[in-house]
């Protein structure tokens, strides 16, 4: 049986990776990811985890080393944040194109300049087109559960794609929370030993990563895209199986008091818990407001999100990153794309908040709600606004 | 006795009359005629055999051997990016270590090879190489040095020699060509305190293959800097590759040596060196150089060779180490 522990979320994440019997961990320290890899290095140093911990000289080499290890048939993990993630990004594209089931925890943090070690989703958005499966955790329990699920889904032979679990820096990664940590037997029941489909093996030589001439490049990308789309039902299916083993059920989109809501607030990540408090408060005041949270960011849950939003009159989409498209933040862009070809879609406004570690409060969500309702009444065009700016 | 000396105490060199027949790097690749790099790589692979995993950097040798759906590799081979061959092989080597330890595979004797050109080694890949050497992975790293970014069209690198013409170090009214002296990556690798470092040339095939074999036998990292003439980039006729490579050694431009457990050993002492001008004049990339500049290069080559002699504790007699290949 698993146990309920009070634990810093980063430490719980590292414990979960250890329970997954990972073979190779290559990592470089970067705030606020550090506690995860520090604790993994301790688990290896103390003999609790039989793995190779490779303290590389950069995040670029961290992902490069993970690619080599995964191609050689090892279960492979790394973790990063922000600037380090940006340095790593070149190889992230290659890891997904080579169909290597690497698992990574990204502890989300703002991107420079100015330098900020605090949380927002700039790094998450930077990597949105790298071809990795990406989930976004709300709390410590989800971090742990999504990591276990990430190995399971990435290594599924119908998928074979790398997977990221995103968690907010500091506001989630450094919190001490009660977490149900499974035991080894439970993990084994859910996560079979890693059996690579192809690997670098002198007994069966194969060429990995050859040159793609114009005659083949497009076809390779199409094949990658098809594999990516095909991962969606497997993600859902393996979450359903997770529910059978652990009793906790996950879906790509989570809803809270949204079924009968006139106004929906849409969030991603740990602010959703604050948003729930705000929804409760506003409901008590008679406002028909609900919450929809994206748990799965890539592949994007188009149909499920539409089902969650279609009954509402208006949606406030919260972004925690700048899009610099001039039209909307990155989450809102996806939401609008999701709704564009539907027969009916709600009125949408986009609110950018919580950049570079600025707190997002219950009052902010109330402000968003009121702004949205006022905009709709005035008939404002659907745009975006950065809220909580000191003028 | 050091780690490398211990591992090499029963070393048996290749026999010139009976070389390995296997060609892990097959014919039918797309290298240019007279390519010194593919010749060197072929010798490397003959020496290593087929129980090997290869990580390739981006560069000529990646492009010419792997255009999908063809491959010239009869051994497992992976290419990831330009600057990370040493990091990729770190992961492969570590995976084999842990999978063998956990009993999931039983392949304890696989050799791990990473190779890159001089751009991928001396410039963009230097950090990943340094990291992998410092961490002590058991692998062989080969720099195939053709002294410029040949694959992208002959641009200068930090391994391009002084005075050479490249497309980004063109000679002109205000330029001599390459303005800096060649970066000494073998010495940088040796400064990491790794067990085995060597320089080699495809013109001295047995010497090269023996060094590759030693590099593979030594536990921990081994670095080989292999001189790889490029007729396309250096502008010499394609039948002169071996001659250019041999002249580089005979003129002391590219001396052959080993660093075993930190001890520098000259592979062949050049007692009667050929003038550097003889080497330079074979190649049109140096055609613009004046007599004064050639004298300057000669002085530098002499000085560097003297420095090397001072470092070497047991200089061999001329021709001894690679006598067979000379003949």
Q: What is the pLDDT of residues A41-76, one digit of tens each?
A: 999 999 999 999 999 999 999 999 999 999 999 999
Alpha helices in A1-139 (DSSP H): 9-19, 34-45, 59-71, 82-97, 122-126
Rounded CA-CA distance A216/A207 in Å is 16
Residue B105 sits at the chain A interface (C-beta within 8 Å):
yes
Write down the pLDDT at residue A2: 85
Mean pLDDT of B165-179: 97
Q: Look at strands B111-117 and B52-56 and give their pairing.
A: parallel
Residue B326's pLDDT band (cuts 50, 70, 90): very low
* Whether A52 and B81 lie within 8 Å, measured CB to CB: no
Nearest to B131 among A57, A208, A209 (CB): A57
CB contact under 8 A, A205 and B63: no
Question: What is the tens place of the pLDDT at every residue in A205-220?
Answer: 999 999 999 999 999 9
CB atoms near residue A281 (< 10 Å): 15
Find the CB nearest B80 among A23, A54, A209. Answer: A209
Among candidates B71, B74, B127 on the partner chain, residue whose Cβ is nearest the Cβ of A57: B127
In angstroms, the CA B207 to CA A74 distance is 36
The answer to whether residue B318 scores a pLDDT higher than 70 is no
Question: Cβ contact (<8 Å) for B91 and A66?
Answer: yes
Contact A54 B135 (CB under 8 A): yes
Q: What is the pLDDT of residues B182-232, one digit of tens each?
A: 999 999 999 999 999 999 999 999 999 999 999 999 999 999 999 999 999
CA distance A215 to A211: 11
Nearest CA in chain B to A22: B98
Q: In what order do the strands lie in the sheet with B52-56?
A: A207-208, B77-79, B52-56, B111-117, B140-145, B222-227, B196-200, B257-260, B263-266
Question: Stretch A25-50: mean pLDDT, rounded?
Answer: 98
Name the packing angle between helices A214-246 and A140-155 (round to 10°).
130
Contact state of A60 with B84 under an 8 Å Cβ cutoff: yes
Q: Can you tell me the distance from the alpha carbon of B256 to that of B319, in angstroms, rounded to the nearest whole number?
A: 11
* Partner-chain residue, chosen from B63, B78, B127, that has the shortest CB–CB distance to A200: B78
Contacts of B68 in chain A (CB under 8 A): 210-213, 216
Per-residue pLDDT of A113-124, as tens digits, reads 999 999 999 999
User: What is the set of domains in chain A, with CATH numbers?
Assistant: 3-246 (3.40.50.970), 253-386 (3.40.50.920)
ipTM surpasses cut 0.95: yes
Does the CB of B68 have a partner CB in chain A at under 8 Å? yes
Q: What is the DSSP letter of B213?
A: H
Of A24, A60, A68, the CB nearest to B55: A68
Of A55, A72, A94, the CB nearest to B91: A72
- Please judge whether A68 and B50 are an interchain contact, meaning their C-beta atoms are less than 8 angstroms apart: no
Residues of A in Cβ contact (< 8 Å) with B67:
210-211, 213
Other CB atoms within a 10 A radius of the CB of residue A97 amount to 17
With a pLDDT cut of 70, the percent of chain B lying above it is: 96
Residue B172: helix, strand or coil by DSSP? strand
Q: Is the pLDDT of residue A112 over 90?
A: yes
Task: Assess B37–A contact: CB distance below 8 Å, yes or no.
Answer: no
Give the model's pLDDT for residue B323: 46
What are φ and ψ of residue B185, in 5° steps?
Answer: -75, -30
**Which tokens hold the place of A2?**
């698993």
- CA nearest B148: which of B117, B181, B184? B117
* B81–A91 C-beta distance less than 8 A: yes
CA distance B96 to B247: 41
B238 touching A (Cβ < 8 Å): no
Chain A environment of B77 (Cβ under 8 Å):
205-208
Cβ-based neighbours of B290, under 8 Å, separated by 6 or more:
none
- Residues of chain A with Cβ-Cβ distance to B62 below 8 Å are 211
**CA of B45 to nearest chain A CA: how many angstroms apart?**
13
Alpha helices in chain B (DSSP H): 3-7, 36-48, 60-65, 85-101, 118, 126-135, 185-190, 205-217, 231-234, 241-250, 276-280, 291-311, 323-326
| Residue contacts between A and B (CB atoms, under 8 Å) | 164
Contact residues on chain A for B130, CB-CB shorter than 8 A: 57
Tell me the average pLDDT across B294-313: 96
pLDDT level of residue B314 (50, 70, 90 thresholds): low
Taking CA–CA distances from B56, the nearest residue in chain A reads: A209
Give the residue-averaged pLDDT of A239-265: 97
Interface check B101 vs A, CB under 8 A = yes
Contacts of B131 in chain A (CB under 8 A): 56-58, 61
Evaluate if residue B324 carries a pLDDT over 60.
no
Whether residue A391 is predicted with pLDDT greater than 90 in this model: the reply is no
Cβ pair B90:A56 closer than 8 A: yes
Tell me whether B53 touches chain A (CB under 8 Å): yes
Q: Identify the CA nearest to A68 among candidates B77, B153, B233, B173.
A: B77
Find chain B residues with C-beta within 8 A of A51's C-beta.
98
Burial class (CB in 10 A: 0-12, 13-18, 19+), B311: middle
Cis ω before B101 (30° cut-off from 0)? no
Mean pLDDT within A17-33: 98
Whether the per-residue pLDDT at B317 is higher than 90: the answer is no
Residue of A57, A76, A75, A79 lying closest to A66 (CA atoms): A76
Inform me whether the C-beta atom of residue B265 falls under 8 Å from chain A C-beta atoms: no
Instruction: Determine the residue among A29, A41, A69, A100 to mutate to test chain B binding: the one whose Cβ has the most chain B Cβ atoms within 10 Å.
Output: A69
Report the 3 state secondary structure along A171-187.
Answer: CCCCCEEEEEECCHHHH
Q: In this complex, which of A54, A67, A90 lies closest to B94 when CB atoms are compared?
A: A54
Which residues of chain A have a CB within 8 Å of the CB of B73?
Answer: 205, 207
The shortest C-alpha distance from A343 to chain B (Å) reads: 45
CB atoms closer than 10 angstroms to residue A289 = 29
């Amino acid at each position: 049986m698993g146990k309920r522990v009070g634990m810093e979320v980063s430490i719980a994440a590292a414990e979960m990776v250890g329970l997954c019997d990972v073979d190779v961990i290559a990592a470089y320290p970067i705030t606020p990811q550090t506690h995860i890899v520090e604790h993994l290095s301790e688990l290896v140093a103390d003999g609790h985890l039989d793995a190779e911990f490779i303290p590389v000289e950069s995040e670029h080499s961290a992902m490069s080393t993970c690619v080599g290890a995964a191609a050689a048939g090892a279960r492979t993990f790394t973790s990063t944040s922000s600037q380090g993630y940006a340095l790593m990004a070149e190889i992230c594209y290659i890891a997904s194109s080579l169909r290597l089931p690497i698992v990574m925890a990204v502890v989300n943090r703002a991107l420079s300049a100015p330098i900020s070690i605090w949380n927002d989703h700039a790094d998450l958005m930077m990597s949105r087109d790298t071809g990795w499966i990406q989930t976004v955790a709300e709390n410590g329990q989800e971090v742990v559960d999504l990591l276990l699920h990430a190995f399971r889904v990435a290594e599924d032979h119908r998928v074979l794609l790398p997977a990221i679990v995103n968690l907010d820096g500091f506001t989630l990664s450094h919190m001490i929370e009660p977490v149900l940590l499974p035991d080894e037997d439970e993990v084994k029941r859910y996560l079979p030993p890693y059996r690579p489909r192809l690997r670098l093996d002198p007994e069966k030589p194969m060429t990995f990563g050859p040159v793609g001439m114009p005659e083949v490049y497009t076809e390779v990308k199409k094949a990658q895209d098809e594999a990516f789309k095909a991962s969606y039902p497997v993600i859902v299916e393996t979450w359903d199986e997770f529910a059978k083993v652990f009793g906790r059920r996950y879906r790509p989109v989570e809803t809270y008091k949204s079924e009968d809501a006139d106004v929906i607030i849409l969030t991603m990540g740990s602010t959703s818990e604050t948003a729930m408090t705000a929804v409760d408060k506003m409901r008590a005041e008679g406002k028909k407001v609900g919450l929809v949270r994206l748990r799965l960011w890539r592949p994007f849950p188009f149909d499920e999100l539409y089902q969650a939003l279609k009954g509402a009159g208006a949606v406030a989409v919260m972004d925690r990153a700048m899009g610099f498209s001039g039209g909307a933040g990155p989450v809102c862009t996806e939401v609008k794309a999701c709704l564009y070809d539907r027969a009916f879609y709600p009125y949408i406004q986009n609110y950018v908040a919580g950049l570079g570690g600025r707190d997002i409060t219950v009052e902010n969500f109330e402000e968003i709600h009121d702004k949205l309702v006022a905009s709709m009444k005035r008939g404002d065009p659907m745009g975006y606004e950065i809220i909580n700016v000191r003028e | 006795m050091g780690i490398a000396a211990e591992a090499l105490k029963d070393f048996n060199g290749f026999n010139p009359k009976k070389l390995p027949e296997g060609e892990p790097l097959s014919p039918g690749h797309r290298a240019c005629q007279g390519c010194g790099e593919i010749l060197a790589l072929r010798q490397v692979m003959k020496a290593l055999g087929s129980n090997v995993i290869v990580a390739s950097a981006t560069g000529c040798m990646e492009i010419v051997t792997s255009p999908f759906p063809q491959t010239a590799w009869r051994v497992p081979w992976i290419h990831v990016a330009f600057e990370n061959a040493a990091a990729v092989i770190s992961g492969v080597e570590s995976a084999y270590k842990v999978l063998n330890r956990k009993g999931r595979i039983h392949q304890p004797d696989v050799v791990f090879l990473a190779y890159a050109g001089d751009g991928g080694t001396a410039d963009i890949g230097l950090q990943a190489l340094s990291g992998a050497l410092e961490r002590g992975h058991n692998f062989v790293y080969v720099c195939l040095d053709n002294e410029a970014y040949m694959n992208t069209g002959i641009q200068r690198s930090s391994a391009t020699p002084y005075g050479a013409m490249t497309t980004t170090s063109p000679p002109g009214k205000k330029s001599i060509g390459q303005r800096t002296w060649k970066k000494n990556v073998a010495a940088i690798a040796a400064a990491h305190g790794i067990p085995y470092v060597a320089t080699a040339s495809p013109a001295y095939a047995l010497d090269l293959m023996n060094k590759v074999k030693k590099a593979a036998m030594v536990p921990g990292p081994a670095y080989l800097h292999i001189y790889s003439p490029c007729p396309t980039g250096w502008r010499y006729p394609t039948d002169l590759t071996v001659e250019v490579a041999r002249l580089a050694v005979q003129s002391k431009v590219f001396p052959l040596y080993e660093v075993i457990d930190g001890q520098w050993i000259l592979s062949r002492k050049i007692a009667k060196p050929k003038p550097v001008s003889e080497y330079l004049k074979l190649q049109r990339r140096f055609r613009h150089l004046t007599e004064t500049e050639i004298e300057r290069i000669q002085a530098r080559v002499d000085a560097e060779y003297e420095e090397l002699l001072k470092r070497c504790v047991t200089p061999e007699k001329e021709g001894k180490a690679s006598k067979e290949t000379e003949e």
